[in-house]
Structure 1
Amino acid sequence: MHQNILAKTPTKHALRSGIVEGFKQAVPIIVGFIPVGFTFGVLATKNGIPGFLTVMMSIIVLAGSSQFIAVSLFAASMSPVTIIVTTFIVNLRHFLMSAAIAPHLSKMTFMRKLLFSFQLIDETFAIHMANIDRNNFGELQAITVNCVAHFCWVSGTVIGVCGSHLIGDIKPLGFDYALPAMFVVLLIWQLKSNMHAIVSIIAAIASITLYLAGAEQLCVILASIIAATTGVILCNIRKK
């Protein structure tokens, strides 16, 4: 029995390897999250949200797009109910992400699943699914990616809050391009066939069309459903 326990216990080399691999895979997130987190910290502070609440939002909420939307709604003097409902709708895509990755977490303990689910965001989801497709998904590696992403987002926010008084206008700095650039890198990483490229293009067209049609809050989740459904249909047609 003692030997079985030792066999299941990760070696120091395995632990080190998992952590290092997680850090390597999180590099695009590190590059993108610190400047975007900085932007959020500055915008939130300049719109009247106290610094400690801004940092707490990044620690507890951990949802970039929803946090930016919440700040804009706060600046527009919207009611708390409106802010909560709007951010909830924007984050509905997390149901799809959770459903996709849940079958691969069966070996995790309940507490680790809670931590993992709390830190699951668009960027970490993209990395995890790419690893799953390559049969390279490891628990320690995945948790490291999540923790690095969380740390960088909070760090960027703290820097933004502390340096907000030094920034007059944040637009000329171009930090708003950091997040789209990071998503482009993560997308390219996942493109392994023509079908993936076709589904990505469909998702982009659907998202832009829905946004211009007025579905600003639902465009991402609806475009995801449309693209995924189209991909399944095209794959079935190809098999026939």
Structure 2
Amino acid sequence: MTGDLDAKSALRETLPTVFGYIGIAVAFGITAKANGLSIIEITLLSLLTYAGSVEFVIVSLLAMHAGIWSILLSVFLVNARVILMSTVVAPYLSDETMAKNIWIGTLLTDETFALSMNKLNYTGRKLNFTWFNVSNLAAYATWVVSSALGGILGNLINNPERYGIGFALVAMFIGLLYLQVIADRTIKLNLQLTVIGAVVIMMYLGMTVIPKNGLLLIVTLLGCSIGVVLKHGIK
């Protein structure tokens, strides 16, 4: 990763993440196909929703014949963290127009967010629309195409859970967390590990009393709050 903020550097730096997208999107396509969605439906879901974890949730709920309001509420709760991520990114794009900010937020994902936070370590805490847009579009195109490919391959795999395909999403997030921890030069390692530990404990304890979709949002907010308090208290 370099300090350049042009389209070429964005494409080069997003490439490792793109390879991760291929595996997750193919896994989603296979899972969706096994649950009765057509290749066209899989492609449209990825085009219009474009949220890996949410798409897995939608497929699961459709398989259970859940109502539309249950699906909408679950989608909002699972992906509400993107609102928080967008508020973090927005100050670095304050010189861009509102339309450009909305467009960046529309295609923002966990992966491009993590990549942008790492990029700040090399650019003097600066970002721009060109770099972010190319990164987002590269990830978006890869996800949609790979989802469709997964749908095609799904004709060959009737029981994807047998091969542990559903774990692909979890593995990707573990990798992103590791890269964030080792690359961030602005926050002490012991602080990062403390927050990670607190989040793990809250998730473990909360799963027994709070629905998992709501728990994700609650723990995200609490984890951010703990991080802010500790960051200003530990110098």
Shared fold by TM > 0.5? yes
The match for 1:158 is: 148
CA shift, 1:27, in A, is: 3.1
The match for 1:71 is: 59
The match for 2:100 is: 112
Q: Deviations 1:74-104 (Å, cap 9, x if unpaired)?
A: 1101111211121112111122111111111
- Give the aligned residue type for 1:166: L
The match for 2:131 is: 141
The match for 2:218 is: 222
Question: Is residue 60 from structure 1 mapped to residue 48 from structure 2 by the alignment?
Answer: yes
Count of residue pairs brought into register by the alignment: 224
**SS in structure 1 opposite 2:213?**
coil
CA shift, 1:22, in A, is: 1.5
Cα distance, 1:213–1:26 mapped onto 2, change above 3 Å? farther
The match for 2:209 is: 213
CA shift, 1:157, in A, is: 0.7
- Give the aligned residue type for 1:66: V
Cα distance, 1:136–1:107 mapped onto 2, change above 3 Å? closer
CA shift, 1:151, in A, is: 1.2
The match for 2:234 is: 238
CA shift, 1:136, in A, is: 5.1
**SS in structure 2 opposite 1:217?**
helix
C-alpha separation in 2, matches of 1:17 and 1:137: 7
The match for 2:38 is: 50
Question: Normalising by the residue count of structure 1, what TM-score does the alignment of the two structures yield?
Answer: 0.84
Query: Larger Cα Rg: Structure 1 or Structure 2?
Result: 1
Worse overlay, 130-139 or 226-235: 130-139
C-alpha separation in 2, matches of 1:105 and 1:17: 13
CA shift, 1:172, in A, is: 4.2
C-alpha separation in 2, matches of 1:204 and 1:21: 34
CA shift, 1:72, in A, is: 0.7
Q: 1:82 aligns with which of 67, 70, 85?
A: 70
Question: Is residue 196 from structure 1 mapped to residue 192 from structure 2 by the alignment?
Answer: yes
CA contact (8 A) 1:28 1:185 kept: no
CA shift, 1:133, in A, is: 4.5
C-alpha separation in 2, matches of 1:109 and 1:53: 34
C-alpha separation in 1, matches of 2:205 and 2:12: 35
CA shift, 1:56, in A, is: 0.8
Q: 1:98 aligns with which of 86, 94, 108?
A: 86
CA shift, 1:150, in A, is: 0.7
CA contact (8 A) 1:208 1:219 kept: no
The Cα RMSD (Å) is 2.1
C-alpha separation in 2, matches of 1:46 and 1:181: 21
C-alpha separation in 2, matches of 1:181 and 1:47: 22
Cα distance, 1:220–1:18 mapped onto 2, change above 3 Å? same
- Give the aligned residue type for 1:175: I
- Give the aligned residue type for 1:77: H
The match for 1:3 is: none
CA shift, 1:198, in A, is: 1.6
- Give the aligned residue type for 1:184: I
Cα distance, 1:23–1:204 mapped onto 2, change above 3 Å? farther
Cα distance, 1:131–1:212 mapped onto 2, change above 3 Å? farther
C-alpha separation in 2, matches of 1:136 and 1:173: 42
CA shift, 1:119, in A, is: 0.5
Question: Is residue 171 from structure 1 mapped to residue 161 from structure 2 by the alignment?
Answer: yes
CA contact (8 A) 1:38 1:159 kept: yes
- Give the aligned residue type for 2:156: L
Cα distance, 1:211–1:22 mapped onto 2, change above 3 Å? farther
- Give the aligned residue type for 2:233: I
The match for 2:9 is: 21
Cα distance, 1:161–1:113 mapped onto 2, change above 3 Å? same
